[in-house]
Amino acid sequence: MTRPQILDQYFLDARHKLVDLAAFLDRVERAAGKDDFRLQAFRAALGELSGGKKHKAKRVLLAFSDPTTRPVARAETKGACGAWNSSQ
Amino acid sequence: MKYIEPHAHMVSRVTDDYEQMALAGCEAVCEPAFWAGFDRSSPAGFFDYFSQLTQHEPKRAAKFGLKHFCWLCINSKEAEDVKLAAEVIALVPGFLDRPNVLGIGEIGLNKNSRNELRVFEMQVELAAKHHQLILVHTPHLEDKFKGTRLILDALQSDRRIRPERVIIDHVEEHTVEMVLDAGMWAGMTLYPETKCTPARAVDMLETYGHERLWLNSACDWGVSDPLAVPKAALEMKRRGHLATAVEKVIFQSPKKFLSQSPHFKAGF
C-alpha cells in the first residue's frame, strides 16, 4: 500500500487512539497521588513515538519489558501488570 | 475461505462458537492444554482434563464438521509446584497415542521463575523422549521479552530439539525476530486487549514474510475472539494481499507445521 492509502485506511483510527491516550494522561494527572512504575514506563514508551526512529512498536514494547536475564527465585503472582517494576 | 485455528481453548467456549467458526470456514481446531483460571488441587484434575481434551471435545467439534486436535502438558501457571508438575507430566505418556494428540503444549513460562523453567525443561525432555512436537506459551506483557529469551536458550541448548518442530506462540514485535532467527515457528495471537491486533499481525507478516508464521485466536475464558483468525484474513484482504497469500497464512502454513504430527496427518 502507498502512504496515502495507509493514511486513508488507518488515520482516523490512529487519531482516535491518540486522543484516547491524551485523555488518559489528563485523567491520571488530574487525580490525587503520585506516579508509579507503570506511569513512568508509559511516559518512557511515549518518548519512542516521536522522531524518525524505526520499529516504534518494538521500542514501545521494550520500554515496558523486564530487561534482566536471570530467572526470578519464585513466582509470587500469576498475573502481569503491563510494566516492569525495577524496584522488585 | 478455509482456515485452521491452531490455538483455541474450546473447553472454555460455548457450542455456538463452534458453529460460528465452522460458518467462517474453519476446518480444524487445535487445543493446547492450559490453565483453567484456577489451580487444580491434584493430578486427578489433570487426568480428567486430558480425558476431556482427547475424548469429549472432539465429539463436540465433530457436530459442526470440525476436526479437533489437542496438545498435552502442565501449563506454566501451575508449574511453581514442581512435585505436582512431575506427577502431571507422568500422566501425559498414557495419552500420547490418542488419535487427536499433536504433541506437548502449551508449555513455557509465566513469571520466569526457576521452578517454571525447571518444569519447562522437564517437559522438553518429555517431548524429546517421545518424539513429540512442541508448542510454547511465552509470558504476558512485561515478562514476554525475558521469558522468550529464556525459552529459546533452553531449547537451543538441547541438541535433540529440532527447531522446525517447535512453535513459539504469542510473539509480538519485540520477540518475533529472535524466534524466526532461531529457526522455529512463530505464532501471533490476536487478542482484543493484549497481545496482537489483526493490523499489527499483518504488519509483522509484511515485515518478516509468510514463512514459519501463523495466526491464532487463543480464545479462552477471558476477553478473546474465536473469529479472530478470519478477521485478520479480512485485514490482509483490505490491504490488497492476494487470496493465495491469505490462504498460505491461515491454512497452508499451520497445515505444514501440524502435518509433522502423524496424528494430524492421519486425521485431517
Domains recognised in chain B with CATH numbers: 3-267 (3.20.20.140)
B12: confidence class by pLDDT, cuts 50, 70, 90 = very high
Distance, in angstroms, between A11 CA and closest chain B CA?
A: 13
* Percent over 70 (pLDDT), chain B: 100
A63: confidence class by pLDDT, cuts 50, 70, 90 = very high
* Segments in A31-88 forming alpha helices (H): 37-46, 56-63
Is residue B192's pLDDT more than 90?
Answer: no
Neighbours of B73 (CB within 10 A): 32
Question: B221 vs B22, B94, B137, CA distance in Å?
Answer: 20, 27, 17
A84 in a structural domain: no
Please report the pLDDT score of residue B135 as a whole number.
98
Residues B224, B227: Cα–Cα separation, whole Å:
9
Is residue B195's pLDDT more than 90?
Answer: no
Residue B136 and residue B161 in contact, taking contact as beta carbons nearer than 8 Å: no
Residues in chain B: 268
A18 in a structural domain: yes
Do A46 and A60 fall within a single domain?
Answer: yes
B129: confidence class by pLDDT, cuts 50, 70, 90 = very high
Which residue is it, cell 483510527? A13
User: Which of A66, A71, A82 lies at the smallest CB-CB distance from B117?
Assistant: A71
Number of domains composing chain A: 2
State which residues form the domain around A25: 1-33
A73 in a structural domain: no
Please report the pLDDT score of residue B194 as a whole number.
83
Please report the pLDDT score of residue B96 as a whole number.
98
Q: Do A65 and B144 touch (CB under 8 A)?
A: yes
Determine phi and psi for A31, rounding to 5 degrees. -80, 150
A19: confidence class by pLDDT, cuts 50, 70, 90 = very high
A4 in a structural domain: yes
List b or e across B104-125, with b for residues whose CB sees 16 or more CB atoms inside 10 angstroms.
Answer: bbbbbbbbbbebbbbbbebbbe
Residue type for position B86? A
Determine phi and psi for B263, rounding to 5 degrees. -70, -40
User: Which of B113, B114, B142 lies at the smallest CB-CB distance from A80?
Assistant: B142
User: What tens digit of pLDDT does each residue of B86-107 get?
Assistant: 999 999 999 999 999 999 999 9
Q: Which of A56, A66, A70, A87 to probe the B interface (max B CBs under 10 A)?
A: A66
A43 in a structural domain: yes
A80 in a structural domain: no
Q: Is the dihedral of CA B246, B188, B254, B17 positive or negative?
A: negative
Which grid coordinates belong to B55?
475424548
Q: Which of B80, B111, B193, B200 to probe the A interface (max A CBs under 10 A)?
A: B111
A76 in a structural domain: no
**In a 3-state reduction of DSSP, which class is residue B28?**
strand
**pTM > 0.90: yes or no:** yes
Please report the pLDDT score of residue B193 as a whole number.
79
Do A28 and A40 fall within a single domain?
Answer: no
ipTM above 0.90, yes or no: yes
Please report the pLDDT score of residue B148 as a whole number.
98
A19 in a structural domain: yes
Question: A83 vs A9, A42, A79, CA distance in Å?
Answer: 31, 8, 12
Residue B255, CB-side half-sphere exposure with 13 Å CA sphere: 16
Do A23 and A11 fall within a single domain?
Answer: yes
Q: Do B142 and A65 touch (CB under 8 A)?
A: yes
Determine phi and psi for B222, rounding to 5 degrees. -95, -165
Query: Checking DSSP bridges between strand B133-137 and strand B3-5, what pairing results, if any?
Result: unpaired
Pick from B101, B119, B99, B98: nearest CA to B110: B119
Do A16 and A41 fall within a single domain?
Answer: no
B169: confidence class by pLDDT, cuts 50, 70, 90 = very high
Which grid coordinates belong to A11?
488515520
A47: confidence class by pLDDT, cuts 50, 70, 90 = very high
Partners of residue B111 in chain A, C-beta under 8 Å: 72, 75-78, 80
User: Which of B145, B203, B238 lies at the smallest CB-CB distance from A65?
Assistant: B145
| Interface contacts (A, B; CB < 8 Å) | 81
Average model confidence (pLDDT) for chain B? 97
B78: confidence class by pLDDT, cuts 50, 70, 90 = very high
